[in-house]
Amino acid sequence: MADLNDPKNALLHYLQRTREALLWKLDGLGERDLRLPRTPTGTNLLGIVRHVANVEIGYFGPTFGREWPDPDHPLVVSDEDYDADPQADWWVPASVSAAQAVEFYRSVWTFSDATVADLLLDAAGTVAWWPPKRQEVTLQRVLVHVLVDTTRHAGHADVLREGIDGAAGLTSGVTNLPDVDWPAYVARLTRVAEEFSA
């Protein structure tokens, strides 16, 4: 196991755990459930995966002068795609299976991790799509940014998955949830909330 007192190792370790937690939220679901919008803004599980994959390509690729090796992959979203559809990276076309989307995300991990391995944490990069005053960054800042972004979206996936079939928790092997009578707990919270009814 890598030394987690080393900042680069620690950041990569927690990013990888978050990536895996996100993919766990897809396990056992069919294509329809993975793609079906679950919020008024269209958030869906497979779209989250496509989004975080494209985020990593951008931050660990062009930001540090590195090229993603498969720009024609059907899940890669170009600047032109974003111009045509600002939500282009938040859904997966029917022509791409969930298994292909997961494989794509895993290949992005390899690309991103190679960037991190090749550079020092203070390596300089430029985030071209940020405001000019904030564009100059270090690898450390980008790692923190991507970790926070991926963690946020893994949390979205937690909520979506629980709403689909009740599956909840950190990982398949460690749910990190206490042994609670959940219906009674929810009923108690509902009673408290109802005290504020108009």
Residues 125-172 pLDDT 10s:
999 999 999 999 999 999 999 999 999 999 999 999 999 998 888 777
Per-residue exposure over 152-171, b if at least 16 CB sit within 10 Å of its own CB, e if not? ebbebbbebbeeeeebeeee
Asked if the structure places residue 174 within a domain, the reply is yes
Asked if the structure places residue 38 within a domain, the reply is yes
- Assign residue 42 the CATH number of its domain: 1.20.120.450
| Predicted TM-score of the model (pTM) | 0.93
* pLDDT value, residue 169: 81
Asked if the structure places residue 141 within a domain, the reply is yes
Asked if the structure places residue 1 within a domain, the reply is no
Host domain of residue 31: 7-194
Asked if the structure places residue 100 within a domain, the reply is yes
Asked if the structure places residue 37 within a domain, the reply is yes
Asked if the structure places residue 102 within a domain, the reply is yes
Q: Which two tokens stand for residue 173?
A: 């092997």
Give pLDDT tens digits for 74-117.
999 999 999 999 999 999 999 999 999 999 999 999 999 999 99
Asked if the structure places residue 82 within a domain, the reply is yes
Q: Domain tally for the chain?
A: 1
